[in-house]
Amino acid sequence: MSLLELDDVKVHFPVRRGLLFDRVVGYVHAVDGVSLTVEAGRTYGLVGESGCGKTTLGRAVLRLTDITSGRVLFDGTDLAALPGEAMRRARRRLQMIFQDPLGSLDPRQNIESALTEGMAAHGLGDGRAGRRARIRDVLERVGLPAGALSRYPHEFSGGQRQRIGIARALVLEPDLIICDEPVSALDVSVQAQVLNLLEELQDSLGLTYVVIAHDLAVVRHISDRVGVMYLGGLVEEADSDTLYAEPRHPYTRALMSAVPVPDPDLEDNRERILLRGDLPSPASPPAGCRFHTRCPWRQPERCDTERPELTDIGGGHRVACHYAAGIADGTVRPTTELAPRVLRDVPPPREAAEPARETMTDG
């Protein structure tokens, strides 16, 4: 059963200029027609690099930014059409976890006040005692001591702050939690604690997650289904394992080959597709396929003019590339002009014999 369904969602930000009074001179196409479905009790991962619109999309679902067009169906209701007060009430069931655990907590608010605020806004919990009991229960779930209640955000470590952020969402008993880069601001060892906690909570509470992250490894680890975004649109969507085993879009392949793996043997021997250049500006996205300016497999004409649709190539694997099939079976070859250095030709680095004392090579 699908809990959340996005249908051709667009978010365009006006660009204003003007001396005395602002005039709209153009639009940034932050999210440009995204359709996807999130199943209840599952985790949907959205991955992409900065500027691809993944964060904007997450905020658009909660209507924290205005949706330009499209529908956001949550459990049958179109959130995009809800009036303000009804949307505010709907947020009890849709919660969000933020990237910066310190920045997303009011520095002047102690933890108890931060956790009760949501309940007060939605009229939950019977009285003070009831709310307190609920808070204590949630604190225990996320692994924080009850003594944390009277303390302030700056007195906690990064991981603990993120736990507070999670607790704040949990007290409202939401159905869906949007996790916007939930671990990217944390230290590696703490990242794993938070990821495990998110998984445990899903198992015990039946939560549905949308996890937004730039780190493909994190997204793959936690998600059942993964959507890859590039410049405001989905370019590929598949089950987590399928996407990893058979990435079909050239951008997904490049992204996957760029993620470093903590394994020297793999690092030395794997196929590497280096992309040329940078992300084009979302204020004036390229015509045709958004990726054609950097695509190693770009073909003349069609890629520059026709925007590929996200099409199902079987088993729910959707790809937005005209030549996905051709690239996969090798009939479409990388064009010479932007040819990627596919196989790394560098000899494996020398092993340092004794790194901390004497060294081996003689200049």
Partner 1 sequence: MTLLSVEELSVTFTGRDGGRRGPGTDAVCGVSFTVAEGEVAGLVGESGCGKSVTSLALMGLLPRRGVRVGGRAVFRHSGPDPVDLLSLPPAALRDLRGRQLAMIFQDPLSSLNPVVPIGVQVTEVLTRHRGLRGRAARAEAAHLLERGGIPDPTRRLKEYPHQLSGGMRQRALIAMAVACAPRLLIADEPTTALDVTIQAQILELLRELVDDQGTALLMITHDLGVVAGICDSVHVLYAGKVVEAAGRRALFAAPAHPYAHGLLGSVPRLDAPRGERLHPVRGSINDRLSWPDGCAFAPRCDRYTLECLDATPELTALPGATGGHLVRCVHPVGNEGSAAADTPTEREASA
Partner 2 sequence: MTIRTEKLDRLAELTARRDTTTGAGLWTEALRRLRGSKMALTGAAVITVFVVIAVVGPWLAPHDPTAQTWRDEVFVNRALFVGPRSGNWLGLDHLGRDQFSRLLVGARHTLLVGVVSTLIGLVAGALVGGVSGAALAFGGRAGRGLDTVLMRGVDMLLALPSLLLAVSVAAVMGQSLTTVMIAVGVVQIPVFARLLRGSMLAQAHADYVLAARALGVRRRRVVLAHVLPNSLGPVIVQTTLALATAIIEAAALSYLGLGNPDAAQPEWGVMLAQAERFFVPEDLLDQASLMAVCPALGIIVTALGFTLLGEALREALDPKLRG
What distance in Å separates the CA atoms of residue 216 and residue 46, rounded to the nearest whole number? 9
Interacting stretch for partner 2, rule CB under 8 A, among 97-105, 231-239, 303-311, 324-332?
97-105
Query: What mask of x and - would describe binding to partner 2 in positions 205 to 224, judged by CB under 8 A?
Result: --------------------
Does 107 engage in binding with partner 1 (CB under 8 A)? no
Is-contact 60 78, C-beta < 8 A?
A: no
SS (H, E, C) 118-186: HHHHHCCCCHHHHHHHHHHHHHHHHCCCHHHHHCCHHHCCHHHHHHHHHHHHHCCCCCEEEEECCCCCC
Interacting stretch for partner 2, rule CB under 8 A, among 143-151, 254-262, 295-303, 352-360?
143-151
Does 150 engage in binding with partner 2 (CB under 8 A)? yes
Does 14 engage in binding with partner 2 (CB under 8 A)? no
Minimum gap (Å) between residue 359 Cβ and partner 1: 4
Does 151 engage in binding with partner 2 (CB under 8 A)? yes
Beta pairing, strands 2-17 & 176-180 = unpaired
Pick from 62, 275, 321, 332: which binds partner 1 (CB under 8 A)?
Answer: 275
Beta pairing, strands 94-97 & 311-312 = unpaired
Of 149, 88, 165, the closest CA to residue 113 belongs to: 149
Pick from 116, 160, 252, 293: which binds partner 1 (CB under 8 A)?
Answer: 160
Dihedral Cα 54, 60, 62, 63, nearest 10 deg:
160
Does 326 engage in binding with partner 1 (CB under 8 A)? no
Is-contact 286 280, C-beta < 8 A?
A: yes
Interacting stretch for partner 2, rule CB under 8 A, among 94-102, 226-234, 240-248, 253-261?
94-102
| Coarse DSSP helix, strand, coil percentages of the chain, rounded to the nearest 5 percent | 35, 20, 45
Pick from 122, 272, 302, 307: which binds partner 1 (CB under 8 A)?
Answer: 272
In the complex, the residues that contact partner 2 under the rule CB under 8 A are 20-22, 59, 62, 64, 88-89, 91-92, 95-96, 98-100, 103-111, 117-118, 121-122, 145-148, 150-152, 154-155, 165, 168, 172
